[in-house]
Amino acid sequence: MSGVAFQLRWPDVLDIAIVAFISYQVINLIRGTRTAQMLIGFLVVLATYLASQYFELHTVNWVLSNFLASIILVVVVIFQNDIRRALTQVGAGGTFSGAERITQGQVLEEIVRSAVLLASKRVGALMVFERDVNLNEYIEVGTRLDARVSRELLHAIFMTTSPIHDGAVIVQQGHISSAGCYLPLTATPNVSKTLGTRHRAAIGLTEETDAVVVVMSEEDGKISLVREGKIIRDLDAGTLRSSLQQLFAV
């Protein structure tokens, strides 16, 4: 063995770097989500399978071998939302052009000001920004508006006297496409019990899509920002504005 020298070529370094980068991105994607818990479950199943082979537990080994034979299909079915979100992030488009940047900035400013106004009056609201994943399935069940984003309109929509206040507004391509939209509730068990239906709906949608959601609480008048299944609470106007500008590269 003394005469054998290991030569590290530049393709080997590139190969290791790519694998490390992909592994790092996967860990960041699933950290703190239900996917991480499911992955731990799969590792437990795999360890049990290997143990059944070692200790010659034939029945257990047969059951687990049949389960693991279809593991790819199981992974695709269970993690379809996370896979879709990951592929969307990989294929996300670039920044806005000059004109689009100005328009987007105006839309974000209207959202921020309306969020502050509604929160000060303790009016509950859900404002959803569509990004790369299409939200038409949620838009279709609401009331179609196709209207310019404005504080006055958002205030009118979410006032309790409005027939469409108890749902979400979806902003698509700089316009309010629909209001009164119902979103999927999160099934994550570790969500704080203090969060109501609006917050759970915001988390649920961002677990399945790359949408960004601004939530106003009618209980405490706090503003929250939700993305990728994670929620940031108690934001002021400045923090909300800067967070949205960073997310949308404005």
pLDDT value of position 136 = 87
Place 89 in a pLDDT band, splitting at 50, 70 and 90. Answer: low
- Read off the pLDDT of residues 38-73 as tens digits, 9 standing for 90 and up: 777 788 888 898 998 888 888 988 988 888 777 777
* DSSP character at residue 194: T
Within 10 A of 121 (CB to CB), how many other CB atoms are there? 13
The pLDDT tens digits for 155-189 are 999 998 999 998 999 999 889 999 999 999 988 87
Residue 94 has pLDDT above 60, yes or no: no
Q: Which pTM does this prediction carry?
A: 0.64
Q: Which amino acid is at 228?
A: E
Closest CA to 135 of 199, 203, 212, 49: 212
- The pLDDT of residue 169: 97
Reference 128, options 102, 157, 101; nearest CA is: 157
Return d(Cα 237, Cα 231) in angstroms, integer.
16
Question: Does 109 have pLDDT greater than 50?
Answer: yes
Which residue, 194, 246, 189, is CA-closest to 220? 194
Q: What is the mean pLDDT of the chain?
A: 83
Share of the chain above pLDDT 70, in %: 81
Give CA angle at 175 (172, 178), nearest 5°.
70
Cα(76)–Cα(123) distance, integer angstroms:
40
pLDDT of residue 95 exceeding 50: no
- Rounded distance between C-alpha atoms, residue 67 and residue 14, angstroms: 35
**pLDDT computed for residue 99 by the predictor:** 41
Q: How many residues does the chain have?
A: 250
Kindly indicate the confidence band of residue 98, based on its pLDDT and cuts at 50, 70 and 90.
very low
Q: What is the model's pLDDT at position 12?
A: 80
Q: What is the pLDDT of residue 82?
A: 63
The per-residue pLDDT for 49 is 87
Cα 64 to Cα 7, 72, 77, distances in angstroms: 41, 14, 18
pLDDT of residue 120: 92
pLDDT exceeds cutoff 90 at 133: no
Residues of the chain with pLDDT > 90: what percent? 40
**193 has a pLDDT exceeding 90:** no
Tokens coding 122: 């303790």
The mean per-residue pLDDT over the stretch 93-115 comes to 70
Q: Count of CB atoms within 10 A of residue 84's CB?
A: 14
Tell me the domain boundaries of the chain: 10-78, 98-247
* CB-based contacts of 142, cutoff 8 Å, min separation 6: 164, 167, 168, 170, 178, 179, 180, 181, 182
Query: What are the structure tokens assigned to 102, written together?
Result: 């100005």
Positive or negative CA dihedral for 236, 238, 241, 245?
negative
Note the maximum CA span of the chain.
Answer: 84
Q: Rounded to the nearest 5°, which phi and psi values hold at 71?
A: -65, -35
Give the tokens for residue 92: 């996300």
Pick the CATH number of 98-247 from 3.30.1360.200, 3.20.20.70, 3.30.70.60, 3.40.1700.10: 3.40.1700.10
d(CA 37, CA 49): 19
